[in-house]
Amino acid sequence: MAAPIVMVSSYPPRLCGIGTFCEEAREFIQKNNPDRDVLVVSHTDGDGEGVIPIIDMSYRNWWRPVADKLHELKPHAVHIEHEYGLYEYHDERGQGDSNEGFLALLDAINDLPTVVEPHTVHGRLTDYEADFIFKMCRRAHVVLFKCHYQKWRLDWNFTGRGWPTPLNVMVVPHGARSDRRYTLAQVRQLRKELQLDKVAHLSQHLVGLIGWIQSNKRWDILTSMWEEIAQEIHARSGQNWDLLAAGTMRDPNHRRDYERYKTQVELLEKKGLAHYYEFVPRGDTYYKMMAVCDFIVLPSTDETQSGTLARIIALNKPFITSAPMEGLTAQTLESRGGELFTTRDMLKRHVIELACNEEARMRMGTNLKEYLENIVCWDVVADQYNEAHELARQAVKTGKPVQLPLEF
């Protein structure tokens, strides 16, 4: 067996978006590299075959056993999923180390081909973020950004500070599955499987609010207007449309907003205008819940990239999302599969128009199909991952840093 590819990340059963991403990315990296094992070095709550749960963030030097294990595995490449909170050590005072341990890990494994995939790279960096990304790019052989705007904004952020712009940054989009699309007949069956057919008032046309329920996913913007929207749609088209809100809370710190959003949906449900469905947004059920909707609304107040949007794209579902909002806006423009809103009135108008215009929904769905198949499907992304791994290997072999062209 050839040398393994080793991913470093949080991992299920932890309820973590990065862990869910890693699980899916791993599946397709493995598919694309059948001669290699794809292993995961995870936090201590990770589990499963090929998962090595040794990242213990209760210790300041958590990175030492991780570095030792990576050297022991002699990997073809190390592929690290990064989110600030995943690698932040807090001392007995609750003071964080500003990801110093993560940078120490990169120093300790600089003899191994290392690719880092950060999941949060804002367009306007704080001083801390800019300093961290600069140091990370100096230590990793290849750094993967999700969106092109992140790369050209990095150049603006760094030149404005008088810093050199890293040239080892490669753009690889958030992957999306291409094997989860359903026919109309299958959608009808899914409604039965999810027992939605037992909800007496639920109409055949559904607008979805699907995914993790958290404070930045502002379900209340739509729910507060839904009764009026549903009445307007019926007046224009003669059709009944309902709101399907489905998900659950992930972070206990968001409990207050979770309960508020849920209560608003339940009040609409009593009026026969909506339905609330509690489930953990993971696996096939996540896709099935979206599949029964005609289109999805994704209101968010902070998003550099989105696993929810990746699933929307996977299903070729037209969508409406907030703007300007970093990765959400970028992918909406690039895919031509969604509408953007900046005010409540814009959201209301887009929902009504999309519900009343089946031709527009079909056109946007076709655009998403092309975007998925050509740009963001996991098979394409996995090829790009392999390219990044090879660039990192060459950098280690030759001692020469990776140099890629700037965006603009």
Supply the range of the domain harboring residue 343. 184-376
Domain membership flag for residue 403 = no
* CA distance linking residue 7 with residue 77, whole number of Å: 8
Domain membership flag for residue 163 = yes
pLDDT in tens, 380-408: 999 999 999 999 999 999 999 999 999 99
In this structure, which amino acid lies at residue 308?
T
| Helix, coil or strand: residue 207 | strand
CATH number at residue 318: 3.40.50.2000
Question: For the purposes of burial, counting CB atoms within 10 Å of the CB of 343, is it exposed (0-12), middle (13-18) or buried (19 or more)?
Answer: exposed
pLDDT in tens, 175-196: 999 999 999 899 999 999 999 9
Residue with tokens 């990242």: 55
Clarify whether residues 369 and 385 are in a common domain.
no
Clarify whether residues 6 and 38 are in a common domain.
yes
Residue with tokens 């057919």: 197
CB neighbour burial string for 121-142, b if at least 16 within 10 angstroms, e if fewer: bbbebeeebbebbbbbbebbbb
Clarify whether residues 110 and 201 are in a common domain.
no
Clarify whether residues 255 and 158 are in a common domain.
no
Residue with tokens 């990044």: 388
- Least Cα distance to 320 among 292, 352, 289 occurs for 352
Domain membership flag for residue 362 = yes
The angle that helices 344-355 and 226-237 make with each other, rounded to 10 degrees, is 40
Clarify whether residues 206 and 342 are in a common domain.
yes
Domain membership flag for residue 405 = no
* CA distance linking residue 256 with residue 262, whole number of Å: 10
Clarify whether residues 202 and 86 are in a common domain.
no
| Counted domains in the chain | 2
- Taking 90 as the threshold, does the pLDDT of residue 251 lie above it? no
Clarify whether residues 352 and 212 are in a common domain.
yes
**Who's near 150: CB < 8 A, 6+ residues apart?**
121, 123, 171, 304, 327
Clarify whether residues 39 and 134 are in a common domain.
yes
pLDDT in tens, 289-342: 999 999 999 998 887 778 899 999 999 999 999 999 999 999 999 999 999 999
Clarify whether residues 217 and 364 are in a common domain.
yes
Predicted confidence band at 116 (pLDDT cuts at 50, 70, 90)? Answer: very high
In this structure, which amino acid lies at residue 408?
F
Clarify whether residues 115 and 207 are in a common domain.
no
The angle that helices 283-291 and 307-314 make with each other, rounded to 10 degrees, is 60
